[in-house]
Chain A
Amino acid sequence: MRYETVIGLEVHCELATDSKIFCSCSAHSYGAEPNTHVCPACCGMPGMLPIVNKRVVDYGMKAGLMLNCHINRVTTFDKKSYYYPDLPSAYQTTQWFAPVAVNGLVEIETSEGKKGIRIKQIHMEEDAGKLVHDIREDTTHVDFNRTSVPLIEIVSQPDLSSAEEVEAYLERLKALLRYARVAECEMAHGTMRCDVNLSVRPEGSDKLGVRTEMKNMNSIEAIKRAIEYETARHIDAIENGTEVLVQETRRWDDIKGKSYAMRSKETAGDYRYFPDPNVMPVVIDDEWFDSIQASLPEFPEVKREKYTTELGLSDYDAEQIAKSIALCECFEDAYSVCGNAKDAANWMISEVMSNLNARQMTYDMLTLDGKALGELISLVSGNKVGRANAKKILNAMFDDAAVVPSKYAEENGFIISNDTGLMDKVIKTMVEADPKAVADYKGGKEKAIMAIYGKCMKELRGNCDPQMLRTKLIEYINSL
């Protein structure tokens, strides 16, 4: 018999807000010393009250709109009770009754073609802390840096049917949420986490099989392996009766390549949800809703399409720039100033990207002022600054956001002077210093002239129109 796999995902994404969801502690503690980003509120001490970070609701709405969801204009927070040492108040504030976004749709593309994945809901909630087990001391330490860091949980309908689709779906979520600058979605950093609900049924059946939930996959590769393992386990159980499938939560062990049922203690029974009386319902009025809608970016494929058809970029260039909304915005700003899309794209792909790489920054971390880049490109295309010096200016712009290209060029003597007297003098000196190259050139080796050209350019510190220098050099040698 042939089987099909039915998969629904619960994806947690850490929102990229500066502060936590209910207090003013910094939400960014990746790599920080334990318990340095905490206050009485996020440590669950009695007497502190939650104050909703409006930015979290902004981001929740943005995520909802990017995934084509309906936004609940009155959205509420609820308490979810469970004991765990990393949860200092013994409840998590989440959204149970009226989540910020519902009924969305995400389109994915795989080798099988395009497919729509329905989103059941997106809710906002606070993260828990972390337990750090010290094997040598046989103790467990608790770190509350992560408590109350804002998350969204994106719950899909069981519309996925293969590891390939799951990968495409996760990549799509990542692309869309990054475009909206809502979340980093980096599994390796823990800013995207994914639980897989999976069942298996005979192909064509409309009845769902026994569903298991798998946790603890730390990479997309691990998720794919887990799905393949779990699918095979289910089919084996159905066909060979090797075991009885039960609805349960299982932990994926990526080293062993197997899933294990979690102890019942780790999977709380009844969460006893109820509306949090300390958080008033959040009412999203038209003005707020409209401002969020207006702030949304175009989708990556819309950008690519626009760059190739309207701006005449190659497919490759469009693809490269559309990888990040930060690159897109920088490129579009640069183009709006310099007026040459091809030039702007070349600068983005060669110089800007290599500067980012050299600084070990991701594309999304680009903060370069695109308008300033456009000005720099204009200085080069207008023969005001040589290309080598322009690269130096760009480097300075990366180091200091306040650098203005034209001013910096002037201050550092990078402006091309059309002082032909100086150029003539330098040419004469360099030609006289290298009679062999002149002889070679005259003997038919055209390339021999390049050595002299380079020396002239260096002597002039790059501040000359390359074409003019070349012409004048050839004229001078020919006149000898």
Chain B
Amino acid sequence: MEFYFEKVNTSLDKKIVADDMLLTKGIPTTAGSRMLDGYVSLFEAEVLTRLTNAGYGLCGKASVGELAIDLLGETSYKGACVDENGKILNPVAEIIKSGDAMAGICLDANGYVRRAAAQYGLVSVKPTYGTVSRFGMIPVACSGDCVSVMAESASACRDILDAMAGHDDKDGTSLPESKCALLKKSAPVVEIKRVAVITDMLCCDDTVNSAVNSLVAKLEADGIKVDRIENDLIKKSRNAWNILMSAELCNNVSRYDGVKYGYRSNNFTSIDELYTNSRTEAFGDFLKAAILFGSDTLSTENYMRVYDKALRVRRLICEEFGKLFKEYDAVLMPACSAMAYSIDAVRANKDMPYTENLYTAPASITGLPAVAFEGVQLICNYFNETSLLALCEKLEKEGK
């Protein structure tokens, strides 16, 4: 089974793998879509430049699901990676587990990075929106797209975050350096003392529930106060995020027309047929469904009723988290509904990426930082991710 999309030779010790959403110069970037088969960018992702300058060596590009909106990468045009029991495998996590790379640099558009880290016993951090440049990322849902790190340990995540966070003039939503500096290793760490578990989000299977319970026990043993609270607003993130993500995605992929680069159908007699047949042949079913849904949310008829409402829900959820962070240092919730997905279940229920993101949508829609590990994720206030990673590091040490 090929987890790599492209392998690269590097002599450097600190090897990283990038998912195929990060543009690389001289190496193809496909976003997991036949539409970009053979596409080689003229420029490279800013994060890769920064990591190279910090002494990290790119050992390869990992396969990714089409436009990174699926569960774990199963919609890649190269085919799904599954084991002999039909369990879906994630290429980035597999490459890290194999020891080829110490970390993966990935685009978290719809939560796949957090799900993979949580299911593989790895650690991932999705930093505060705007602290890591999106320059050179294949755009999916620009208002939530976030370069994330997946690694063996929390300290590796901190090291990489330190190297890649920072203001970038090439990204208009990049925050000022003074804010980005809060993610550096030199920035002070706040001790996590109070954690809220949102009971409305605990609709997951026993394996994940017990992961949540065991983490709560560990936190309490460390003297952290854990409250189980009810909140029925946070879970509405999912529907709102599905609207925003699909609409932005639809807009972002409309540039792929088979004319300028990427895949072109051989079967056309007019320019309109060239567009239609290229897109029909190159896009996968799940992406097509997302395009149709996204396009519909933006129609004149639906805009106020659907898209604008989702924007208003986003604002309410941001405010809701703001209130929670007055009382708590972090919010704990599952990262996925189960510790493994079977390819058969996903094929039977094509909507799964739109339901399973119940857990990942809250941090995506708000741009809040999230750390995922062992079935769970912790979400904290903006710029506090290093505090979460410090807590995670402490738990790792206690576990050993």
Interface residues of A (CB under 8 A from B): 40, 43-52, 79, 81, 83, 85, 88-91, 270, 272-275, 277-280
Contact = CB atoms under 8 A, between A and B. Distances in A.
B139 A279 contact: no
A429 B87 CA distance: 114
B257 A90 contact: yes
7 contacts: A46-B41, A47-B135, A270-B299, A272-B300, A274-B248, A274-B251, A275-B311
Interface in B170-191: 170-173
Given A49-B134, A277-B142, A272 B255 contact: no
A91 B45 contact: no
A49 B247 contact: no
Interface in B280-324: 295, 298-300, 303, 307, 311
A53 to B, nearest CB: 11
A46 B136 CA distance: 7
B388 to A, nearest CB: 25
Contacts of B41: 40, 45-47
A280 B255 contact: no
A83 B300 contact: no
B271 interface: yes
Contacts, number: 84
Nearest to B168: A49
Given A272-B298, A277-B248, A91 B172 contact: no
B254 interface: yes
Contacts of A40: 41-43
Contacts of A50: 172
Interface string B132-159: 0011111100110000000000000000
Contacts of A274: 247-248, 251, 298, 303, 307
Given A49-B135, A273-B303, A277-B143, A81 B254 contact: yes
Contacts of A43: 260
Contacts of B170: 49, 51
Main secondary structure of the interface of A (DSSP, over half): loop
A236 B275 CA distance: 42
Nearest to A40: B42
Contacts of B172: 49-52, 278-280
B137 A47 contact: yes
Given A47-B41, A51-B169, A91 B139 contact: no
B142 A91 contact: no
* Those 5 A-B pairs whose CB atoms lie nearest each other, nearest first: A277-B143, A272-B298, A90-B254, A277-B142, A47-B136
B209 interface: no
A92 to B, nearest CB: 11
A429 to B, nearest CB: 73
A378 B19 CA distance: 72
Interface of B: 23, 31, 41-43, 45, 134-139, 142-143, 169-173, 247-248, 251-252, 254-255, 257, 259-261, 271, 275, 295, 298-300, 303, 307, 311
Nearest to B140: A46
Nearest to B22: A47
A48 B257 contact: no
A280 B175 CA distance: 11
B314 to A, nearest CB: 11
Contacts of A277: 142-143, 173, 248
A52 B170 CA distance: 10
A88 B255 CA distance: 6
A190 B224 CA distance: 68
A44 B138 CA distance: 12
Contacts of A49: 134-135, 170-173
A81 B251 contact: yes
A400 to B, nearest CB: 37
Contacts of A46: 23, 31, 41, 138-139, 252, 255
Main secondary structure of the interface of B (DSSP, over half): loop
Nearest to B135: A49
A90 B299 contact: no
A19 B134 CA distance: 23
Given A46-B252, A49-B171, A272 B142 contact: no
A85 B134 contact: no
A83 B275 contact: yes
Contacts of A79: 251
A273 B301 CA distance: 12
A36 to B, nearest CB: 16
A47 B247 contact: no
Chain A CB within 10 Å, residue with most, of B23, B31, B251, B257: B251
Given A46-B138, A279-B172, 7 more contacts: A46-B23, A47-B45, A83-B257, A90-B251, A272-B295, A274-B247, A274-B298
A50 B134 CA distance: 11
A47 B138 contact: yes
A272 B299 contact: yes
Nearest to A52: B172
Contacts of A47: 23, 41, 43, 45, 135-139
A234 to B, nearest CB: 27
A237 to B, nearest CB: 28
A369 B119 CA distance: 72
A90 B43 CA distance: 21
Nearest to B23: A47
B299 A89 contact: no
Contacts of B307: 274
A52 to B, nearest CB: 7
A189 to B, nearest CB: 28
Contacts of B143: 277
Nearest to A87: B255
Nearest to A80: B251
Nearest to A90: B254
Contact of B135 (A48, A270, A273, A280): A48
A85 B259 contact: yes
A91 B254 contact: yes
Contacts of A85: 259, 271
B257 A280 contact: no
A236 to B, nearest CB: 33
A91 B135 CA distance: 19
Chain B CB within 10 Å, residue with most, of A47, A49, A278: A47
Contacts of B43: 40, 47-48
Nearest to A49: B171
A274 B247 CA distance: 9
A270 B136 CA distance: 30
A40 B41 CA distance: 9
Contacts of B31: 46
A47 B170 CA distance: 10
A290 to B, nearest CB: 24
A273 B261 CA distance: 26
Chain A CB within 10 Å, residue with most, of B143, B172, B260, B261: B172
Contact of A278 (B23, B142, B275): B142
Contacts of A45: 41-42, 261
A267 to B, nearest CB: 15
B173 A278 contact: yes
A81 B255 CA distance: 10
Contacts of B255: 44, 46, 88-91
A137 to B, nearest CB: 15
Nearest to B275: A83
A275 B259 CA distance: 27
Contacts of A275: 311
Nearest to B272: A265
Nearest to A278: B142
Contacts of A83: 254, 257, 275
A19 to B, nearest CB: 14
B305 to A, nearest CB: 14
Nearest to A41: B170
